[in-house]
Structure 1
């Protein structure tokens, strides 16, 4: 699926508090610009130091890679996946290094009220991500418009279904509101860190998120499959398309900028985990 791009002049305009400098890489015929990283953020983001990492943050499932002769090789997405998998527990992945602090999903006791809070907060996060890429304050973001992974409209349909069943739809709660605000700030001031969250949110939902959705549906929805867990095209192709775009964008980054992106992974897990725990609230 082709994505929209923003035309860029040969001048060096500023975006927010930083200026961009031209680099030689190009994407889809449009000249790219590399934005310098801001000074690295501290670890304090209003989150508890010990936050449970839950299996819905499972990043994309391992996939066979084509060799360079096949047109696709290993890229920066492989690095993002490797870092994410290390944040899993050993019972979630053989690559995991964390001790398990949460009961397995099979033993969860979800409620309709908690699940609705999770869906509402998730919609706020996806609304925020989709608005950010549409505005594209950083030119890179325009590459991720209309990828087919968007979830906001799907979640809106699901919430309408719950309303039709007589359920009251709650307002967004603190976990979702905090994450949405953080994403907005990152998108304007720290694009490499924002890309880390973009990757982890969408790819986690396509893997562990789907598994949790099935388990919850078995327990409280009489196995109904929500629109949140459906895609309008072949999911593997949609994911590969976004992998290619992420690799292309990151190809213009310095090693320091790539490392800065990777360092944001744990915060992505913490914010997503806080929203996921709403299912059990």
Structure 2
């Protein structure tokens, strides 16, 4: 929680980079960039857990938290509204590439990113989505912010799987996983700031 800013969590210690979310003035073009880059990251995560040679990644298939298909539906909706869908930009491309590299050589670090990406979206991500929808989408709730089933149960199921996987890790591997959190926040923050571009 220390890696959050004070406006994100009361335990937050980081200085905000830019305005608090409540003061954001998002644009459709910026939001589309955010959604496209986010989809690239989710596509990458979902592909990695589907085909990886690390057996522990198989635990994270079909968790109910997957977002790629939902994002594809949302981007199609924007296209139907007459909006041009941009290509992925540098923040998303760099993060996807980093995740692919990590997944092949550093499972603890990769799982840190997996956890942070999915769990952040279910918390602060939903709040941001609601704020953006109020400001630029006439309060339309995108598919990106909907889950089938009880979200708290889906999250608990993934937490249980994460704990099972981490049981076999050494203390050093667990610490290494935690140390990767700051990079996860940086990459995700770069994509999030696309909303304002």
Scaled to the shorter chain, the TM-score interval is over 0.9
Does residue 94 in structure 1 map to residue 13 in structure 2? no
Alignment map for 1:61-140 (pairs within 5 Å): 85-140=1-56
Rounded to whole Å, the distance in 1 between the matches of 2:133 and 2:32 is: 12
Distance 1:250 1:233 in 2: 26
* 1:272 matches 2:185: no
Supply the distance in 1 between the matched residues of 2:144 and 2:138 (Cα, whole angstroms).
Answer: 16
State the match for 1:236 in structure 2: 152
TM-score under structure 2 length normalisation: 0.98
In structure 1, C-alpha distance between the alignment counterparts of 2:92 and 2:16, rounded to whole Å: 24
Secondary structure of the corresponding residue to residue 253 of structure 1: coil
Aligned to 1:258: 174
Counterpart of 2:136 in structure 1 is: 220
Q: Cα RMSD over matched residues?
A: 0.7
For structure 1, which runs of at least 5 residues remain unmatched after alignment?
Answer: 1-84
Give the superposition deviation at 1:94.
Answer: 2.2
Secondary structure of 1:86's match?
coil
Q: Deviations over 1:141-190 (max 9, x none)?
A: 00000000000000000000000000000100010000000000000010
Contact 2:67–2:144 (8 Å) recurs in 1: yes
Question: Residues of 2 paired with 1:87 and 1:121: CA distance?
Answer: 22
| Structure with higher strand content | 1
SS of residue in 2 equivalent to 1:110? coil
Query: Bigger radius of gyration, 1 or 2?
Result: 1
Q: Tell me the residue number matched to 2:59.
A: 143
Secondary structure, counterpart of 1:121 in structure 2 = helix
The number of equivalent residue pairs is: 197
Decide whether the 8 Å contact of 2:49 with 2:61 is kept in 1.
yes
Partners of 2:33 and 2:117 in 1: CA distance: 17
